[in-house]
Each structure stands twice: as C-alpha cells, then as structure tokens.
Amino acid sequence: MDFKDKTVIVTGASSGIGEATVKAFIKRQANVLMVARSEDKLKELSDGVYSRYLALDLTDEKAAEKIVGEATIEWERIDIVVNAAGILQTGSIMNTSLEDFDYMMNINMRSVFSIMQTAIPFLKETKGNIVNVSSVVGLRAFPNILSYCVSKAALDHLTRCSALELAPFGIRVNAVNPGVITTNLHKASGMDEKSYENFLEHSKTTHPLGRVGEPEEVAELILFLASDKAGWITGETVSIDGGRFLTCLR
C-alpha cells in the first residue's frame, strides 16, 4: 500500500480511529492534512513530520471550504478523504431533543456530505477515493442511542449512493463499520471512567471474537480501502467488529 506523495485529508484526527489513521498514512509517506477541534493535540501529532493541520469545528458553515482549500493550497491535489470525525449521544425516540438530534446529524452526516461534495472536483483529477467511518449501529438497531444509529445508517447510504454517482469519474467511495473500539468516543459522550471500564468488559461478551477492537486495526482497513489494492471496490460498508454484526447481543 504505497501512499508516497498522495494527499490525504483526515477528519477527527486528534483521537481514536482518526489519530491511528493519520499515523498509518504518515508512516507510509503520505501528505496528511489533519482536521479536528483540538489544536494542541494536532500540534503534537504534527511535530517532526511533514504534514499540516487545521483546527476547526465541523459545524462551521465554511468548514469544508477551509479544509479543501488548505489541502489544495499546500499540495495542489487531493487523493483521499477519510471522514473519521463523529460524536455519540445517548437518548431514545422519547427523550432525544430536536436540538440534540440536529447536532448529531450535523457532525456525523451533514459535515461529511459537505466535505465530500467540496472535494469532488479535485478527486476527479486524481481519480481519488473516500472512506467514511461509520459503525455497526449503521447496520444494526440498538436502543437508547437512536440519533447516533440514524446518523450512521444515513452515512452508509450516503456512501452507497455517492459511490454510484461518482463511479463514472473513477472516484471510489467506501465505509468501515467498526464495533466497539477503545477510543474516547463513549467517555466524550459522558460515560465516566468506571462505567467505561465496565462497558469494555461487557463488550467482550457481545463480540463473538471475545474482545473489543483497537483503532489501529480499523486504520489498516481504511488504508486498504484507500489503496490501489482495493481499486475494484466501491459502495461497500465493511464490517470490522469481531462478529458483532452477526448477532443481536447488547
């Protein structure tokens, strides 16, 4: 998987799957634009490596324009876009506020749509590709995380529909659908340290392979889908979940 001199945009770059993906691309000599809200973490990641970073909130109406502009000003091309940014909020159909629902959709779906759309002219030139980070919840229903499930299901269909529409231009679009991964996603949603430890322990029983996943495992799948080795793969939502998709365990 050779990415030397390829220009890659990664959102959600400051932690979890996004951070692991950034490190994997840099290791393979790609030019990486790291995007996240935490400027301190982005500075840390960019220290000593040839890359650029952009600290911003993806709900900014100009976010996609700024991201694509930053990449093309620096490297004059875009080869790969990885949409790894995402948030998780709990709530059911009975108690999720419209404001919370909209915020979830804005981060997990609307921002992805906007970045993809804005990058298309440059991806046409390189016959590049897009990898979206979805979730097992895009494929399976789970209670009390309704808006998160809906946002990821929508992201999966955005992946499939756009793959059909962009195929004539040689642009591929795929998604990965992880199970539980050891990231700060759940703690950022409000779960305390002890509850998170209990959640990870319980999750060993809900994944048939008997463990949760690591960000680096998902990053390697992302790199494969972004590589020439996956040149005939598009419109796929690829599960990487220790078999959780096969069950209804909760």
| CATH number of the domain that residue 193 is part of | 3.40.50.720
Q: Is residue 226, in this structure, part of any structural domain at all?
A: yes
Structural domain containing residue 156: 7-246
pLDDT at 190: 66
The whole-chain average pLDDT of the chain stands at: 94
- Per-residue pLDDT reduced to its tens digit, 204-242: 988 999 999 999 999 999 999 999 999 999 999 999 999
- Per-residue pLDDT reduced to its tens digit, 54-113: 999 999 999 999 999 999 999 999 999 999 999 999 999 999 999 999 999 999 999 999
Whether 191 shows a pLDDT value over 80: the answer reads no
Q: How many domains does the chain have?
A: 1
Whether 120 shows a pLDDT value over 70: the answer reads yes
Q: Is residue 2, in this structure, part of any structural domain at all?
A: no
What percent of the chain shows pLDDT beyond 70?
97
Whole-number Å distance between alpha carbons of 27 and 42: 16
pLDDT at 250: 66
The secondary element (H helix, E strand) that includes residue 188 is helix 185-188
Whole-number Å distance between alpha carbons of 84 and 40: 19
pLDDT at 83: 98
pTM more than 0.85:
yes
Could you identify the residue written with the tokens 């799957």? 17
Cα angle for residues 38, 22, 185 (degrees, 5° grid): 55
Cross-strand partners of 53: 34
Q: Which residues belong to the active site?
A: 148
Q: Is residue 1, in this structure, part of any structural domain at all?
A: no
Confidence of residue 187 (pLDDT cuts 50, 70, 90): low
Residue environment code for 112-144, b if the CB has 16+ CB neighbours within 10 A, otherwise e:
bebbbebbbebbeeeebbbbbbbbbbbbbeeee
Tell me if 130 sits within 8 A of 160, measured CB to CB: no
